[in-house]
Amino acid sequence: MFNKETYIRRRKELQRLVGDGVIVLFGNNESPCNFPNNGYYPFRQDSSFLYYFGQQRDGLVGVIDIDNNTETLIGDDIDIEDIVWYGSVNSVSNMASEVGVSHSAPMKELTKICNDALRQKRKIHFLPPYRFDIKLQILDLLGIHPNQQKESASMNLIKAVVKMRSVKDAEEIKELEHAATIGYQMHTTAMRLIKPGRTEKYIAGQVNGIALSYGSSVSFPTIFSQHGEILHGAPSLNQLEAGKLVLCDAGAENMNNYCSDNTRTMPVTGKFTQRQLEIYSIVEACHDYALEISKPGVKYFDVHLAVCRLMTDRLKELGLMKGDTEEAVRAGAHAIFLPHGLGHMMGLDVHDMENLDQINVGFDEETRPNLNQFGTNSLRMGRRLEEGFVVTDEPGIYFIPDLIDDWKTSGYCKDFLNFDKLESYKDFGGIRLEDDILITHDGCRFIGKDLIPYHPNDVEAFMENN
C-alpha cells in the first residue's frame, strides 16, 4: 500500500474528472472455490478499488460524494469468531484513516446512501461489475437488472479511471519493476529446467512456485507448452521432446498486485535448428522494431501494422508469403501467422483495466478498432502512446494446422500465401517473444533491471551454462 497522500490525491482528481454525483467503488468479496467457506487464495481485491482506496480486505465499498465533498469507507468489522481463525485485523475506521478517508460506516449504510441519492435524482456512478455477487448487490441497491448493468455503468467514471490508471507514476513504475524481477526469476527457472523427458506441468509448477514465493500470485495462468501455436496452451503431462520448441508465457503479481508478463520460446535441447532459427529471427526482428518505433504520439495500431509489414517481408523471403506487402497486410493475410494484436496495457491487471472494456482502454475517439478483419479484431491496444504508459510488445508467428486448412479450403488470401509450403510447417508449433515496456518522453524502455535472454545466442548460452 502507498502512503495515504497518494490515495487522497487520486480520489481528489477522480472527483474533478467525474464532476458531480456519487461514486460507488465496489471492492471484491471472497470468491468460493468449491464450497462456500473455501475461498480462492490469495484474496484478490478489485483493481480500481485498490487504486483509489488501497485496502486489501474483502467486503468493502468506497463512496465518494462529489457534491458534498465527503468520502466514506463502507464495511462491517469482523467478529471474534473470524478473529479466532484468521487473527486480528484493522477496524474499518482504522483502514479508512490509513488511506485518508474521514468517514466509515457499516454495510447497511450503503443502502441509505443510495436511497437518498436516488430520491434526490442524483447520479450514482459505478463501474461495470464482473462478479455476480456484486451484480446482485447493485440490483438490490439501485434496482438495475444484471443484464442492464454494463450499459448503465457510468461512462464518465470509466473514462476518468482509464485516464488516471493509464499513466503510471513513479510509485507504480517501482512496483512494476519489482514484479519484473520476479518474472525474471520465473522465466530463467524455466530455462534452467527445460530438457527432454521433463513434463510441461512439472516445469510450469516450478515457475508458478517462484511467483508464490516472492509475490502474491501469478498474474495469469501460466502458459507452458510445446504446442506454441495454441495461443493459450495450458501445460500438460506431456514430456518435453528433443527437436521441439517450448513456449513459456508467464508473469508475476507482486504483493501490491502490480503485474509482469513475458514470453520466451526455447529449444528443448538448448539449440535451435536452422528452420527454427529462421522463424525465430523474424519474431526477434519484429519485437525489436516495435521497441525502436514506440514513443509518445505514435499510435500503437500503427506500430502493430509496421510490425506486420516487416513480418510479411521476411516471410516472403522464406517463400511462405508472396505478392505486394501493403496489399497483403491490408487484406489481413499476415494474420494466419499473427492472429492477435501486438500488445496490451499493463499495470494492476495484466490486461490492465480489461473489465472496463478494451474499446475504452486501448482505443479512443480518434482511434477505433477494426472489428471486421480476422487478426486486427483482436488488437487490444491501438491508441496514441503517452509518456507513462506501460504496454506489452509481443509479436509471434504461429503455424496453426486447422487455420491453415481452413484458409486453404476457402482460398482466403490465396494471392499472398504459399499453402503448399505451409503444409510442411504444420508440425512447427509457434514462437512468441514478449516484454513489458515503459513509454518515456522520447521513446521507450524495458520494465525490469534484468532482461530475460531472448536473442538466440543468449538463449542458447544461458541454457548451456545453467
Q: How far is CA 436 from CA 92, 342, 380, 397, in A?
A: 36, 12, 15, 19
Compute the average pLDDT of residues 64-92.
91
In the chain, the number of structural domains is 2
* 405 has pLDDT over 90: yes
Residue 399 has pLDDT above 90, yes or no: yes
Closest CA to 254 of 188, 178, 185: 178
pLDDT classification of 250: cutoffs 50, 70, 90:
very high
pLDDT tens across 155-171, in order?
Answer: 999 999 999 999 999 99
The parent domain of residue 349 ranges over 170-465
What's the pLDDT band for 465 if we cut at 50, 70, 90? very high
Q: What angle do CA 128, 132, 137 make, to 5 degrees?
A: 80
Instruction: Mark whether 211 and 95 lie in a shared domain.
Output: no
Q: Where are the beta strands (DSSP E) in 67-111?
A: 70-74, 103-105
Q: Is the per-residue pLDDT at 113 higher than 90?
A: yes
pLDDT exceeds cutoff 90 at 87: no
- 77 and 177 housed in the same domain: no
**Are residues 209 and 152 located together in one domain of the fold?**
no
Q: Can you give the CATH number for the domain in which 360 is found?
A: 3.90.230.10
Mean pLDDT of 214-232: 96
How confident is the model over 282-324, as pLDDT tens digits? 999 999 999 999 999 999 999 999 999 999 999 999 999 999 9
Residues 179 and 150 in one domain: no
Spatial distance between the Cα atoms of 216 and 259, rounded to a whole number of angstroms: 10
Which residue type, as a one-letter code, is found at position 294? Answer: S
pLDDT of residue 79: 86
39 confidence band (pLDDT: 50, 70, 90): confident
Q: Each residue of 179-192: pLDDT tens digit?
A: 999 999 999 999 99
Q: Note whether 211 and 98 are same-domain residues.
A: no
Q: Where are the alpha helices (DSSP H) in 215-350?
A: 274-293, 300-317, 325-331
Q: How much is the average pLDDT of 347-362?
A: 96
pLDDT range class, residue 150, cuts 50, 70, 90: very high
Q: Is residue 118 domain-shared with residue 150, that is, in the same domain?
A: yes
Neighbours of 449 (CB within 10 A): 10
Mean pLDDT of 92-97: 96
What pLDDT shows up at residue 411?
A: 97
Same domain, 255 and 299: yes
User: Which is more confidently placed, 432 or 85?
Assistant: 432
Q: What percentage of the chain carries pLDDT values higher than 70?
A: 100
Amino acid at 336: I
pLDDT grade, residue 83 (50/70/90)?
A: confident
For residues 162 and 180, membership in a common domain is answered with no
Tell me: do 105 and 190 sit in the same domain: no
| pLDDT for position 93 | 96
- One domain, residues 121 and 29: yes
pLDDT > 90? residue 153? yes
Whether the Cβ atoms of residue 218 and residue 235 lie closer than 8 Å to each other: no
260 with 301, same domain: the answer is yes
Q: State how far the alpha carbon of 405 is from the alpha carbons of 249, 319, 336, in Å.
A: 26, 18, 11
d(CA 95, CA 182): 29
* Least reliable range by pLDDT among 13-27, 296-310, 360-374: 360-374
Contact 179, 254 (CB under 8 A): yes
Confidence category of residue 1, pLDDT binned at 50, 70, 90: confident
Note the pLDDT of residue 41.
Answer: 84
pLDDT at 371 over 90: no
Q: What is the CATH number of the domain that holds 126?
A: 3.40.350.10
Average pLDDT on 350-379 reads 92
Would you tell me the crossing angle of helices 4-18 and 155-166 to the nearest 10 degrees?
140
Question: Among the three residues 128, 144, 166, which one is the final residue of a domain in this structure?
Answer: 166
Q: What is the pLDDT of residue 36?
A: 86
What pLDDT score was predicted for residue 211?
Answer: 97
Residues 178 and 144 in one domain: no
Residue 126, pLDDT > 90, answer: yes
Which of residues 144, 166, 188 is at a domain's end? 166
Over range 59-67, report the average pLDDT. 98
Distances (CA, A) of 224 to 83, 235, 266, 347: 40, 5, 11, 23
Of 139, 166, 193, the one marking the end of a domain is 166
Mean pLDDT over each residue of the chain, to the nearest integer? 96
